[in-house]
């Protein structure tokens, strides 16, 4: 039984050491040095090449090295393969802190005062009055973010795929309720998984539905956002500002228009970083569960794509 690590775009030395310590006796290889592909049953993946999946005749499990699974070409996987992801309460707490911090930064106009300080300008203004925060996606992360915002005095609205009732949250669901939901959001947080249904969802029609004081915070995936529509919505004052942690292409190209846009605040995909310790514990537990023929943890629904 062999585990293949195909985690691209990062230095994997600590990850490989931690996996070997947690899974003694298991052969662990790092892509592209995959050895005999017929021996590989379990792949730990992050932005793995799509061509990999058809080369593994005995693949049983693909484990994402993060909360999202969009870096795994689900449609290229054989039908009986299970796909799992990392679910970590500490990751959700980090996300909640990030979102609260950025909502408050906009509410208190911190960006404006940082810029005014550079110019030695003294122009006091009352904090923005908007208090309604809408969260697209009320899953593992969205629900923790919602609770944190409620505890800090915000009115929280949520939008999800299926109908649900969460105490204290004004709930909307399905495409038909999306515009109505957006019309009530002073702050709109995207915490959706990236799927065929959610790609490009942050677009002109959504921005048109939002109030003109509305602020977009995208912490999900860059491909949720139609970039030109955002710039247009900001330039025509359809919405007021945006905070972006994720981008269609990362790192963001140095000549991208977002870098210097006065109404855009950016961070380099740091809203909630996967903890190596938690991730390795979950990967090892799933690898061992597979060996024993037991159920795996945090598997996604392949039909839904999340």
Where along the sequence are the contacts to ligand NDP (CB under 6 A)? 67-68, 91, 137-142, 160-162, 191-195, 197-198, 219-221, 245-246, 269, 271-272, 306
CB of 159 vs ligand NDP, minimal distance in Å: 6
Residue with Cβ nearer ligand NDP (183 or 197): 197
Work out what residue 134 binds among ligand OXD, ligand NDP, none; the CB cut-off runs from 5 to 8 Å by kind.
none
Q: Which residue is nearest to ligand NDP (CB)?
A: 139
Residue with Cβ nearer ligand NDP (26 or 285): 285
Contacts of 153 (CB under 8 A, 6+ apart): 131
Work out what residue 192 binds among ligand OXD, ligand NDP, none; the CB cut-off runs from 5 to 8 Å by kind.
ligand NDP
Rounded distance between C-alpha atoms, residue 50 and residue 96, angstroms: 32
Element (H, E) at 244: strand 241-244
CB of 38 vs ligand NDP, minimal distance in Å: 32
Q: What angle do CA 13, 219, 230 make, to 5 degrees?
A: 130
Residue with Cβ nearer ligand NDP (16 or 87): 87
Work out what residue 63 binds among ligand OXD, ligand NDP, none; the CB cut-off runs from 5 to 8 Å by kind.
none
Neighbours of 29 (CB within 10 A): 19
* Active site residues per annotation: 221, 269
Residue with Cβ nearer ligand NDP (102 or 221): 221
Work out what residue 146 binds among ligand NDP, ligand OXD, none; the CB cut-off runs from 5 to 8 Å by kind.
none
Q: In terms of residues, how long is the chain?
A: 306
CB of 267 vs ligand OXD, minimal distance in Å: 12
CB of 67 vs ligand OXD, minimal distance in Å: 4
Residue with Cβ nearer ligand OXD (66 or 134): 66
Half-sphere exposure of 206 (CA within 13 A, CB side): 28
CB of 296 vs ligand NDP, minimal distance in Å: 16
Q: Which residue is nearest to ligand OXD (CB)?
A: 66
Helix ranges (H only) for the chain are 13-22, 89-107, 110-118, 140-151, 178-183, 204-209, 227-235, 276-292
Rounded distance between C-alpha atoms, residue 254 and residue 92, angstroms: 30
CA nearest to 60, candidates 299, 263, 270: 299
- Binding residues for ligand OXD, rule: CB under 6 A, are 66-68, 274
Q: What angle do CA 169, 148, 264 make, to 5 degrees?
A: 95
**219 preceded by a cis bond (ω within 30 of 0):** no
């Amino acid at each position: 039984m062999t585990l293949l690590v195909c985690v691209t775009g990062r230095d994997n030395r600590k990850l490989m050491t931690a996996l070997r310590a947690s899974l003694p006796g298991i052969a662990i290889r790092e892509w592209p040095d995959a050895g005999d592909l017929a021996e590989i049953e379990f792949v730990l993946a992050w932005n793995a090449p799509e061509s990999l999946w058809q080369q593994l005749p005995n693949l049983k499990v693909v484990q994402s090295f993060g909360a999202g699974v969009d870096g795994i070409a689900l449609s290229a996987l054989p039908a009986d393969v299970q796909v799992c992801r990392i679910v970590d309460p500490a990751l959700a707490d980090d996300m909640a802190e990030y979102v609260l911090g950025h909502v408050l930064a906009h509410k208190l106009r911190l960006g404006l005062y940082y810029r005014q300080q550079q110019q030695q300008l003294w122009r006091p203004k009352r904090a923005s009055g908007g208090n309604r925060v809408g969260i697209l996606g009320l899953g593992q992360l969205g629900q923790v973010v919602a609770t944190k915002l409620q505890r800090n005095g915000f009115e929280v609205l949520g939008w999800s795929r299926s109908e649900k009732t969460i105490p204290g949250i004004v709930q909307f669901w399905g495409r038909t309720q999306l515009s109505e939901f957006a019309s009530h959001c002073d702050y709109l947080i995207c915490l959706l998984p990236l799927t065929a249904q959610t790609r490009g969802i942050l677009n002109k029609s959504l921005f048109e539905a939002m109030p003109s004081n509305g602020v977009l915070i995208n912490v999900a995936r860059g491909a949720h956002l139609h970039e030109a529509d955002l710039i247009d919505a900001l330039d025509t004052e359809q919405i007021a500002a945006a905070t972006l942690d994720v981008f269609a292409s990362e790192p963001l190209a140095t000549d991208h228009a977002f870098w210097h846009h006065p109404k855009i605040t950016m961070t380099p995909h740091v809203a909630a970083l996967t903890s190596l310790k938690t991730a390795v514990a979950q990967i090892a537990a799933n690898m061992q569960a597979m060996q024993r023929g037991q159920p795996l943890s945090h598997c996604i629904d392949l039909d839904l794509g999340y």
